[in-house]
C-alpha cells in the first residue's frame, strides 16, 4: 500500500478521540509507526495526556479480545475492539437471519 502522509493526517484529524485511542493502543501493532506517531500527536493536540492513554490501554488489555499477534479483535459491526464473541446470525438487509456465524461484539453491540 502506498503511504500518503496527507491522507493519513486528514484521516487522523477526522477521527474521534475514542477511535484514536483504539489506534494507538489495541490496534497499534497493525499500524505504520509513522501513523502511530501522528495519532499520538493528534491526541496530545486534543489534550489527552499520556496517563489517560495508558489507563485506556490497561482497561482494554483486561476487557478486550486479542489475536495471537497481539492486535485486538474488531467488532463485527463497527471498528471498536471486541469484548465478546459467540455465534450469531448473518442477516440479509440487516433483518432476515440467513446463516449462523461466529460474531464479535464491542461494548456497544454486546447486548447479551
Query: Each residue of 4-49: pLDDT tens digit?
Result: 889 999 999 999 999 999 999 999 988 999 999 999 999 999 999 9
CB under 8 A, 24+ apart: contacts of 102-107: 103/76, 104/65, 104/73, 104/74, 104/75, 104/76, 105/75, 105/76, 105/77, 106/75, 106/77, 106/78, 106/80, 106/81, 106/82, 107/63, 107/80, 107/83
67 is a domain residue = no
pLDDT at 82 over 90: yes
Full-model pTM: 0.84
22 is a domain residue = yes
Domain limits for position 78: 73-112
68 is a domain residue = no
Same-domain pairing of 50 and 100:
no
Same-domain pairing of 97 and 55:
no
For residue range 83-95, what is the model confidence (pLDDT) as tens digits? 999 999 988 887 8
Mean pLDDT calculated for residue range 77-85: 95
Amino acid at each position: 500500500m502506498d503511504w500518503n502522509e496527507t491522507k493519513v493526517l486528514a484521516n487522523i484529524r477526522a477521527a474521534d478521540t475514542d477511535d484514536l485511542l483504539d489506534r494507538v493502543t489495541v490496534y497499534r501493532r497493525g499500524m505504520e509507526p509513522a501513523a502511530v506517531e501522528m495519532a499520538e500527536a493528534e491526541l496530545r493536540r486534543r489534550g489527552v495526556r499520556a496517563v489517560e492513554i495508558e489507563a485506556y490501554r490497561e482497561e482494554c488489555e483486561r476487557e478486550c479480545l486479542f489475536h495471537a499477534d497481539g492486535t485486538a479483535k474488531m467488532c463485527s459491526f463497527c471498528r471498536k475492539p471486541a469484548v465478546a464473541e459467540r455465534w450469531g446470525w448473518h442477516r440479509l438487509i440487516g433483518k432476515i437471519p440467513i446463516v449462523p456465524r461466529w460474531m464479535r461484539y464491542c461494548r456497544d453491540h454486546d447486548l447479551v
